[in-house]
Amino acid sequence: MTTPLIGVLALQGDVREHLIALAAADAVARPVRRPEELAEVDGLVIPGGESTTISKLAVLFGLMEPLRARIAAGMPVYGTCAGLIMLADKILDPRSGQETLGGIDMIVRRNAFGRQNESFEAAVEVKGIDGGPVEGVFIRAPWVESVGARAEVVAEHDGHIVAVRQDNALATSFHPELTGDHRVHALFVDMVRAAS
The set of catalytic residues is 81, 175, 177
Residues forming beta bridges with residue 90, ordered by sequence position: 107
**Cα–Cα dist 145/161, whole Å:** 7
Q: What is the residue-wise DSSP string for 35-76?
A: HHHHHH-SEEEE-SS-HHHHHHHHHHTT-HHHHHHHHHTT--
Judge whether 79 and 87 are in contact, CB under 8 Å.
yes
| Amino acid at site 103 | G
Query: What's the distance, CA 49 to chain centroid?
Result: 11
Q: Which helix (H) or strand (E) holds 30?
A: strand 28-32
Q: Is 89 helix (H, G, I), strand (E, B) or coil?
A: strand
